[in-house]
Amino acid sequence: MSVQTCFPTVMTVLDQPETVDSTLAPILPFARATGAHLRALSLGVDATQAGYFVAGATAAIMSDETLQLAREDALEIKSRAEALLEKADISFEVEATITQSAGLGSVISANAHFADLVILPLPYGPNMGSEAPMIAEAALFDGAAPVLVVPNGVDIPNPARRIVIAWNNSAEALSAVRHALGLLKAADEVDILVIDPERGHMSPAEPGADLATWLSRHGVHANISLVPRRLGRVSDEIARHLTDTNADLLVMGAYSHSRLREAIWGGATRDLLAEAKLPILMAH
Q: Do 146 and 112 form a contact (C-beta atoms < 8 A)?
A: no
Task: Check whether 152 has a pLDDT greater than 80.
Answer: yes
> In sequence order, what are the residues at sequence separation of 6 or more whose Cβ sits closer than 8 angstroms to the Cβ of residue 223?
189, 190, 191, 192, 212
Q: Are strands 280-283 and 147-150 parallel, antiparallel or unpaired?
A: antiparallel
**Per-residue pLDDT at 21:** 97
Task: Check whether 107 has a pLDDT greater than 50.
Answer: yes
Phi, psi of 144 (to 5 degrees): 60, 25
Q: Are strands 91-100 and 117-121 parallel, antiparallel or unpaired?
A: unpaired
> In sequence order, what are the residues at sequence separation of 6 or more whose Cβ sits closer than 8 angstroms to the Cβ of residue 95?
39, 40, 41, 42, 78, 111
**Stretch among 79-83, 111-115, 259-263 having the lowest mean pLDDT:** 259-263
- DSSP-assigned states of every residue in 36-91: PEEEEEEEEEE---TT---TT--HHHHHHHHHHHHHHHHHHHHHHHHHHHTTS-SE
Q: What is the tens place of the pLDDT at every residue in 178-205?
A: 999 999 999 999 999 999 886 544 455 7
Residues forming a β-bridge with 225: 193
pTM: 0.89
Q: Do 278 and 249 form a contact (C-beta atoms < 8 A)?
A: yes
**Stretch among 64-73, 237-246, 260-269 having the lowest mean pLDDT:** 260-269
Q: Treating both helix axes as pointing N-terminal to C-terminal, what angle do 267-275 and 234-244 enclose, rounded to 10 degrees?
A: 50
